[in-house]
Structure 1
């Protein structure tokens, strides 16, 4: 079985307004001076879990 990276918590979270009905939630995790990576997941109601940060 593969081992996950250690658990981390976001250093920043927020929302971006799309239109009247849609809002995008985001988290920033890891090294603020590191290379940026964007992780997108499924559609409405898909949600993210803490394990996705590992």
Structure 2
């Protein structure tokens, strides 16, 4: 497995999440509560997380 940072739209990651969804990803779990990331899956079912960029 390879992981690498990918900037997804400045301080607000939602524009990046929208782009990933438009490219075929599926939202599995949205951030909220004590979870600070969105969990998505690519079209093949591989799950990954989208975090807000650190400052």
Per the normalisation by structure 2, the TM-score is: 0.31
Structure number with higher helix proportion: 2
Higher relative contact order (CA closer than 8 Å, sequence separation 6+):
1
Larger radius of gyration: 1
